[in-house]
Structures are given as C-alpha cells and as structure tokens.
Amino acid sequence: MNVGDALLDLVVESVDPERMKTMAALLRDPNMIHLEPAEAARHGLGDRVVNQGPINMGYVQTMLAHAAGGVDRVRATAFRFLANVHAGDRVVAGGRVTAVRDGEVDCEVWLDVTGGARALSGTATLLAPPPAP
C-alpha cells in the first residue's frame, strides 16, 4: 500500500430494514425511527426507517478488514456521523491511504449514500498487509 492508493470499495446494494430490527433487539434500542417509517417521518427524517450508526460503522469496518487482510489487522478507527442512511439506500464504504510508516497504514475512510450525502467519515490505522509470496 502506498500513499494515495484507494482501498477496495464495499458496496451494499440495499440497506435491509430487517437487519435494523435485529440490531435494535441486540442493542436494546427502543428508538422507533429504526423500526417504523411513520416514526421516522414524524421526526422529519424522511419516510423510511433510519439505519443504526453501528451498522454504518460495520460497513466501513468490513471494508477495512478486507483491505488489511483480516479483522485483527485493523488497529484503530475514529468516525464522525454526518448524515442518515435509510432502508433501501445503496451505500459505498471506501477509503484512501494517507500515510505508511513502521508497518502501519493510515487511511481516511467514508460511507457514502449513492445519490445522497456522505453519511460517515473518519480515519483508520491498519497493519500493513503481509508481502505477497
């Protein structure tokens, strides 16, 4: 990996509202904007349910794990939430190498809603991938 290299995008063709229900149960998150479109609309968030932040971060974490060669090679992440992701949205997790040093790779990362806003931005540090044989 070299400074300026793009990480391979992870594309989610359609954010699944059923996964939001599962995540709400796992997180014990009673916020109905994740479960009921009418509740999201009542709060001015559009007419579709809103994806939870941990799922959005998970898309980026998965992209990073692929880039680094395993989840154990993702050393640190920091994220900033910028916009909502809704059921049915197509999202793309991407990144770019910003520094390479002492066996580590720093990256800027993001999650974009196709045809919409950047939903998440942040930074990550990965262990440099092992050399190819």
Contacts with 36 (C-beta within 8 Å, 6 or more apart), sequence order: 49
Whether pTM > 0.75 for this model: the answer is yes
Q: Domains in the chain and their CATH numbers?
A: 5-16+51-127 (3.10.129.10)
| 49 band by pLDDT with thresholds 50, 70 and 90 | very high
| More confident position, 18 or 132 | 18
What are the tens digits of pLDDT across the range 63-109?
999 999 899 999 999 999 999 999 999 999 999 999 999 899 999 99
Closest to 124 in 3D by CA, of 115, 111, 112: 111
Whether residue 133 has pLDDT greater than 80: no
